[in-house]
Structure formats: C-alpha cells, structure tokens
C-alpha cells in the first residue's frame, strides 16, 4: 500500500523551517542536523527539532498523532509555523527525489504534478538535503519539478553540488528537454562532469501537432528535439519517455519509427502507463484508454524497437495486461511510496515483481486485471524469470516512472 509521506504536528512555539535526519536516540554525532523522535524522556542537546506521538511531554516537543511512518535515517522538512512535516528522503527506499521547482514552461495535459509560480524555496531545501546525504550517499536520486532547467544557474549549482558531494550516486533528471535546445546551457551542464547523470525527457508524438498539443506549448517539439541533439553532442545521456493515452497511442507506430530514425543514440525509450492525478485526473475522460485496448500496438512498438537494437522498457503497466512476449521489458517502476495492488490481484504469483498500480488510479483501471498463476502458463513462467533477473538493463526510474 501507499506510504505516508506527510504529517501535521503542534508545537508550543513557532520556529523557522528545518530539515533534519530522523533519529530515535539522542546519541548522535550531529544533533543540530537531527530531528529526534522521543516517547518519554527528552534528552539534553541542541537538536534541529524534537517530536513525539506521545502525550505528557514539554511544550517544546512537537506533538503528532502518529510517527510510525518515520524510520531512522529518513530526512524530513518541518514547517515550524504550521507543524506540517514532509518526508524528503526515505533511508529504506530507492525511490527518492529532489523536488527543485514548481515552475514549468509546459502545461502537459496528463501532468501528474501541475506547475505553479511559487518555488517556495524548493532549491534551497534540495541543496540542504544533498548536504545531509553526503555522509550516507544513496545509490540513486531523481531531480524533478516542475521543470528543473528553468532554474538556470541554480540548476547548474545543484548539479555541481551533486558532482562534488554525491559523485557515485546515479542521478536521473526529469525534464521536458526544451532548455537544452540552448547549446550553451547544455555545455554548461556537461562541463560539470557528473559521471552518473541522465536526462529523462517525454516525447508525446512524432509530429509537432501532437507533441505541442499534449505539452500545451507552441514550439515545444522543435525545442525538445534540439535538446536531445545538444545533449548527445555534449556527451550527456538521455532517454525518451512516452506516456500512453488517447493522444499518443494512435501514432505509436510512427512515434517508434521516429525515435529509431531520428534519435537512435538514446539510452532507452520507456513506454509509460497514465497516472490518474493532477492534470491527468482533470483530463481523464479525454485521455483514458484501457491498456488492454492498446496492448497489441504497444507490443508491436516495443518489439520493433528492440529488434532494431534500441533499449526499451515498459513502466507502470501490470504484467497481466501486457502481451506475454513483452513481459521481459516490464519494470516495477512505480515509486514504492505510492505503489499498490487492487482486489483483482489476489492470488497472483507475480505481484511482488509487477508494476502494480498508482495509489491514485484505483477508481478506474483495466477490465483485464487478473491473477497470473505460473504453473498454468509457460510464458508467464518465462516472464517472471526475466523479471527476477532484471530483464534488459533498467536505466532507472524517475518520480514513478513519472513525467
């Protein structure tokens, strides 16, 4: 089930927002970087904040209904004015992200996190998070927004910090790619020299009319394609992400042909199921296609690209909807804090390897959901062996395999 990522508490006095690492013991090396969770005794120490879900503690201790979702090593942001607490980093998860801006120069009709104007200090918080992670580097992080490249020099500063503090962490940056249409900007990013960074960029169609309509931005197709070429020229890795809905599916064959002919240098192409939140929810009646109805078109695109030597994956779509011959391309891509299953999955022997569902997509899902029983189908047995071995190379997920 989806993981709790936020909580509200009450403090006896207001204080500036803090970012700190969760600990349930006061014996820490850097108390000023620590958000201490207590149950009874409050130890001495200059902690960033002290919180509890127990009664009878001093007013200086933040009181919460429950803190069961927090583990040692998690990093949280506490708004000292409202008591709102948000988990920025989960120590036990591989699906962590740096949210750096609300702003975006696209207004994609299926965007899961619609843009806004106020950044609210997101970049500052992200850089503080990176500083705290320096002592315990994660395997991978995602940069997301909004559109990160709109930060300009701030984006370059963040990448420089990541290259210095987390050089061995794989970084996936979710971007619409338009900013890289400026070759000087692409070169500035390349000059940072982070050895483990790639850019995940949506391609909505093979022609401007489709891409620009989905992006709700005139000229977006031209700038995005130029961005791909500039990234390649500068030696930066990039992948294409294709969200599957009523505007992209009808030209899926042409789009896969376009990527093969015009963008063969990409790390991979990821075909992605639609998420029912944000603009996706607002436009659901226009965008929704039951994945079983485009299963053949998707399989043909995936197999066609693979046979031409291109790396390809399928994100956010359960095994039981996919044609068995592309099970090996499916990834368990949805971030663990919002991945779930539905009642129809009961008894499925593949569920622990399956993408499952976004927790936001439970109101409506495919009519084809069914449990897979491995002993009954040899092709499903093959699929799960591929899933367990990792299938083709997985180039990492962004925010849920999100766009």
Q: Per-residue pLDDT tens for 119-168?
A: 678 999 999 999 999 999 999 999 999 999 999 999 999 999 999 999 99
Sheet of strand 269-272: strand arrangement: 97-99, 140-144, 170-174, 197-202, 237-243, 269-272, 312-315
Pick left, alpha or beta for residue 106 (phi over 0 → left; psi -120 to 50 → alpha; otherwise beta): beta
Asked if pLDDT for residue 398 goes beyond 50, the answer is: no
Place of tokens 């998860």: 93
Give residue 321's pLDDT: 95
69 CB-near residues (< 8 Å, 6+ apart): 3, 4, 5, 7, 87
Strand 197-202 versus strand 170-174 pairing type: parallel
Question: 375 pLDDT band (50/70/90 cuts)?
Answer: low
Question: 1 pLDDT band (50/70/90 cuts)?
Answer: low
Domain 97-389 has CATH 1.20.1260.10: no
Q: Give per-residue pLDDT as tens, 95-115.
A: 999 999 999 999 999 999 999
Q: Are 167 and 130 in contact (CB under 8 A)?
A: no
Supply the mean pLDDT for the chain: 91
Give residue 271's pLDDT: 98
Global confidence as pTM: 0.90
**Mean local confidence (pLDDT), 186-211:** 97
In the CATH scheme, what architecture does the domain 6-88 have?
A: 3-Layer(bba) Sandwich (3.50)
**Mean local confidence (pLDDT), 310-314:** 98
Cα gap 85→67, rounded to integer Å: 10
Q: Where are the domains of the chain?
A: 6-88, 97-389
Give residue 338's pLDDT: 84
Cα gap 186→234, rounded to integer Å: 7
Give residue 360's pLDDT: 76
Out of 206-220, 336-350, 388-402, the most confident range is 206-220
Query: Would you state the structure tokens that stand for residue 154, as one six-digit string?
Result: 């701030």
Provide the percentage of residues in the chain whose pLDDT is more than 70. 91
Query: Would you state the structure tokens that stand for residue 346, as one six-digit string?
Result: 């009961």
184 CB-near residues (< 8 Å, 6+ apart): none
Give the number of other CB atoms < 10 A from CB of residue 164. 12
Question: 384 pLDDT band (50/70/90 cuts)?
Answer: very low
Cα gap 98→75, rounded to integer Å: 12
Distance between first and last Cα of the chain? 22
Give residue 118's pLDDT: 73
């Amino acid at each position: 089930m989806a993981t709790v990522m936020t909580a509200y508490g009450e403090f006896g006095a207001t204080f500036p927002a803090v970012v700190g690492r969760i600990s349930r013991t006061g014996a820490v090396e850097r108390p000023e970087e620590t958000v201490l969770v207590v149950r009874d005794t409050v130890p001495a120490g200059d902690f960033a904040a002290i919180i509890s879900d127990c009664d009878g503690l001093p007013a200086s201790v933040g009181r919460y209904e429950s803190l069961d979702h927090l583990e040692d090593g998690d990093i949280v942001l506490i708004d000292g004015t409202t008591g709102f607490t948000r988990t920025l980093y989960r120590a036990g998860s591989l699906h962590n992200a740096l949210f750096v801006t609300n702003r975006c120069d696209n207004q994609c009709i299926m965007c899961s996190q619609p843009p806004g104007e106020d950044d609210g200090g997101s970049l500052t918080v992200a850089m503080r998070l990176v500083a705290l992670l320096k002592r315990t580097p994660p395997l991978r992080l995602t940069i997301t927004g909004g559109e990160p490249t709109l930060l300009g020099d701030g984006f370059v500063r963040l990448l420089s910090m990541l290259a210095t503090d987390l050089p061995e962490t794989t970084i996936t940056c979710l971007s619409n790619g338009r900013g890289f249409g400026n070759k000087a900007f692409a070169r500035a990013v390349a000059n940072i020299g982070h050895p483990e960074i790639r850019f995940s960029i949506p391609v909505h169609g093979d022609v401007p009319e489709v891409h620009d309509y989905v992006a709700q931005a005139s000229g977006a197709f031209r700038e995005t394609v130029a961005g791909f070429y500039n990234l390649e020229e500068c030696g930066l890795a990039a992948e294409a992400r294709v969200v599957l809905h009523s505007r992209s599916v009808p030209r899926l064959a042409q789009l896969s042909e376009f990527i093969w002919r015009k963008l063969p240098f990409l790390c991979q192409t990821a075909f992605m199921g639609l998420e029912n939140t944000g603009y996706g929810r607002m436009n659901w009646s226009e965008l929704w296609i039951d994945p079983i109805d485009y299963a053949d078109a998707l399989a043909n695109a995936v197999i066609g690209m693979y046979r031409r030597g291109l790396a390809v994956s399928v994100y956010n779509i359960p095994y039981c909807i996919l044609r068995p011959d592309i099970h090996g391309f499916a990834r368990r891509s949805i971030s663990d804090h919002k991945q779930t299953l539905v009642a129809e999955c009961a008894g499925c022997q593949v569920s622990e390897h399956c993408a499952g569902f976004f927790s936001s997509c439970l109101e409506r899902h495919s009519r084809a959901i069914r449990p897979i029983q491995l002993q009954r189908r040899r092709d499903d047995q093959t699929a799960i062996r591929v899933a367990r071995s990792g299938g083709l190379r997985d180039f990492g997920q962004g925010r849920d395999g999100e766009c």
